[in-house]
Every structure is written in C-alpha cells, then in structure tokens.
C-alpha cells in the first residue's frame, strides 16, 4: 500500500486457503491510515513462482473515513449486525460494512449479495462465492 506521495506504508504476504471463495485481508494494527488521506493498494496473486509474468493483479484506492458525532451516536444506539451494516454503508464506510455483513453472510446471503451488487459487482461467480477467510499477514 502506498500513501499519496507514493511511499510504501505496507507490504504483506498472505497464505490463501485451499477452498475457493471470497477472502478478506486484515492489515496489521501497526499500519496507520490517516483520516481523509487517499491510499493506493495492489493485490497480486502469484500463480507460478517460476514465471511471474503469469501473476494476476488488481489495484484500487481507499480513504479512511472519520464519522461525525451524530453518526457515532446513531451507531452506538443501533443493535444488530444487519442494521449496523446498513448504517456503515450509508456513511460509505465500506470496510466496516463488509466486516458486519461477513459476520452474518452465511445466514443472510441476500444481504451480502445486495451489498456487492450495490457497489458494482456483477460477476455471478463472485456474488455466489462463499466468504472463506479473513487473512492476516503470514510473513514479514
């Protein structure tokens, strides 16, 4: 992950599960993202360590969102993962939205699917894939 000046703030390796599906990545708590700053990320899948030209990659950007006092109060008064997920989505805090829905995905697959569709994912293989793991860094 790079900051807005192109400085690397995080690089990690993750061991993928054997089962296919959607995986989440958890950054170490030592990785500090400043509010309202734009960060660039890239995820590469090494398909053949002997031929890196076959790697598959995807990249994007993220921005840490700070909730205002009213939003924090509303969330504090809310119970239930689905309702909290809806509020986080309304506030465009996608990491928390996904985390909340991931906790109830197996019991509420339509909510999970609706969220993915709402952010532009249309690939049926992804929409129907199970959430198989939240990965932590496996190497320095």
Asked if pLDDT for residue 6 goes beyond 90, the answer is yes
State the pLDDT confidence band at 5, using cuts at 50, 70 and 90.
very high
Q: Which two tokens stand for residue 135?
A: 């990965």
DSSP 8-state secondary structure symbol assigned to residue 101:
H
Average pLDDT over residues 41-54: 92
- For the chain, the first-to-last Cα distance in angstroms comes to 14
Q: What is the mean pLDDT of residues 95-110?
A: 82
- Identify the CA nearest to 81 among candidates 93, 97, 67: 97
The proportion of the chain whose per-residue pLDDT surpasses 90, expressed as a percent, equals 38
Residue 7 has a pLDDT of 95
- Rounded Cα–Cα distance for residues 25 and 88 (Å): 19
Q: What per-residue confidence (pLDDT) applies to 138?
A: 59
**Cα gap 4→109, rounded to integer Å:** 36
81-90 vs 69-76: helix crossing angle, rounded to 10? 170
Which one-letter DSSP state was computed for residue 45?
E
Tokens 């309304």, located at residue: 90
pTM for this model (two decimals): 0.75
What residues form DSSP beta bridges with 62? 39
Taking residues 23-52, what's their average pLDDT? Answer: 90
């Amino acid at each position: 992950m790079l900051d807005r000046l192109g400085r690397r703030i995080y690089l990690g390796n993750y061991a993928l599960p054997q089962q296919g599906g959607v995986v989440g990545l958890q950054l170490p708590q030592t990785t500090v993202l400043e509010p309202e700053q734009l960060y660039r990320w890239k995820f590469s899948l090494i398909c053949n360590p002997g031929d890196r030209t076959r790697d598959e990659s995807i990249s994007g950007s993220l921005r840490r969102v700070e909730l205002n006092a009213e939003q924090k109060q509303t969330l504090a008064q809310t119970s239930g993962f689905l309702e909290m997920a809806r509020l986080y989505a309304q506030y465009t805090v996608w990491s928390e939205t996904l985390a909340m829905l991931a906790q109830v995905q197996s019991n509420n697959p339509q909510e999970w699917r609706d969220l993915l569709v709402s952010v532009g994912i249309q690939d049926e293989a992804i929409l129907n894939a199970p959430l198989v793991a939240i990965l932590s860094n496996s190497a320095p």
